[in-house]
Amino acid sequence: MIASIKHNSRNYKIDLARPLDISIPLKGGDKNVNAWYLGPPKIEPHEQDGFVGKVSEGAPVNFNDVWFNPHSHVTHTECLGHISEEFNSVNKKLKKFFFFAEVITVAPEQQANDFVISEKQIKYALGNKKRQAIVIRTLPNLGDKKSRHYSDTNPPYLTEAAAKYLVKKGVEHLLIDLPSVDKERDGGELLAHKAFWNKSGKPRQKATITEFIYVPNKVEDGTYFLNLQVAPFENDASPSRPVLYKIETK
């Protein structure tokens, strides 16, 4: 199915039959991706008063309970509510779901004992392009990102200057293949989160950050049409399924 769209006075065509899913699915157990010192997620048959929600054990239907934390266990999209005192729901803040996105690949550079994504690297990768969304793939890009346990590993993160630069470029939606845009243990500073949402100024209410994506190596750097699908949770963050589509200028 070929769709045609118009953006900034230019026409594009998109093949909707060839989606590129960059989400990590949730599955119960230790093989699920994990961060922030939580145990594994659970997907188990509900049990109550002798009832076991499993067809193979005599129930008429499979009826599972699911326990997880979106920040720890799955691709998720979060809004300003993640760091605000007042309640903000990503389900209320994100009302548009299609964006032009730039996929970039970055090898985090060493800074003292950390590895970071710097402003200089973002500038080099984006050049003079202006996009509504940016998708950051880090190197090395191994398949174990989909099941890695990140707690106490000090993963790479985005510098405050890099986050500010994305704001300057007009990026509204930041997607990254790490558990957080900030350092694992930073004493609660959350510099990149606060910079991207402009917490100290006029907050960017519609901006979102999506973490724990996985961009397969077959997806080349460049411009794509992004469908940012978010489960309708009234929460600061929700499980999400970002899907990319290749685009062509007519």
Please give the average per-residue pLDDT across 189-203, as a whole number: 97
Question: What pLDDT is attached to residue 46?
Answer: 98
Question: What pLDDT is attached to residue 153?
Answer: 98
Question: What pLDDT is attached to residue 12?
Answer: 86
Q: Give the pair of three-digit tokens for residue 63.
A: 């009826």
Q: Express each pLDDT in 8-62 by its tens digit.
A: 778 889 989 999 999 999 999 999 999 999 999 999 999 999 999 999 999 999 9
The answer to whether residues 8 and 42 belong to one domain is no
- pLDDT greater than 80 at residue 6: no
The answer to whether residues 94 and 117 belong to one domain is yes
The answer to whether residues 90 and 160 belong to one domain is yes
Instruction: Give the closest residue to 206 by CA, choosing from 102, 110, 88, 123.
Output: 88
Q: Express each pLDDT in 125-163 by its tens digit.
A: 999 999 999 999 999 999 999 999 999 999 999 999 999
The answer to whether residues 15 and 52 belong to one domain is no
Phi, psi torsion values for 209, nearest 5 degrees: -125, 130
* Other beta carbons within 10 Å of 229: 15
The answer to whether residues 124 and 15 belong to one domain is yes
Question: What pLDDT is attached to residue 248?
Answer: 80
Please give the average per-residue pLDDT across 240-250, as a whole number: 89
The answer to whether residues 185 and 153 belong to one domain is yes
Query: What pairing do the DSSP bridges indicate for beta strands 10-15 and 237-249?
Result: antiparallel
In this structure, are residues 41 and 67 in contact, taking their beta carbons and an 8 Å threshold?
yes
Please give the average per-residue pLDDT across 184-189, as a whole number: 98
Q: Give the pair of three-digit tokens for residue 8.
A: 């900034």
> The pTM is what?
0.96
The answer to whether residues 8 and 39 belong to one domain is no
The answer to whether residues 138 and 33 belong to one domain is no
- pLDDT greater than 70 at residue 250: no
The answer to whether residues 37 and 150 belong to one domain is no
The answer to whether residues 195 and 242 belong to one domain is yes
Please give the average per-residue pLDDT across 212-229, as a whole number: 97
The Cα angle at residue 222 between residues 219 and 223, in degrees rounded to 5: 110
Q: Express each pLDDT in 79-116 by its tens digit.
A: 999 999 999 999 999 999 999 999 999 999 999 999 99
Confidence band of 240 (pLDDT split at 50, 70, 90): very high
Domain coverage including residue 30: 26-69
Among the three residues 14, 45, 69, which one is the final residue of a domain in this structure? 69
Among the three residues 12, 35, 69, which one is the final residue of a domain in this structure? 69
For the ranges 15-19, 63-67, 211-215, 234-238, which has the lowest average pLDDT?
A: 15-19
Query: CATH number for the domain including 145?
Result: 3.50.30.50
In this structure, are residues 229 and 162 in contact, taking their beta carbons and an 8 Å threshold?
no
The answer to whether residues 44 and 95 belong to one domain is no
The answer to whether residues 42 and 141 belong to one domain is no
- pLDDT greater than 60 at residue 5: yes
Question: What pLDDT is attached to residue 1?
Answer: 77
Among the three residues 69, 99, 126, which one is the final residue of a domain in this structure? 69
Number of structural domains (the chain) is: 2
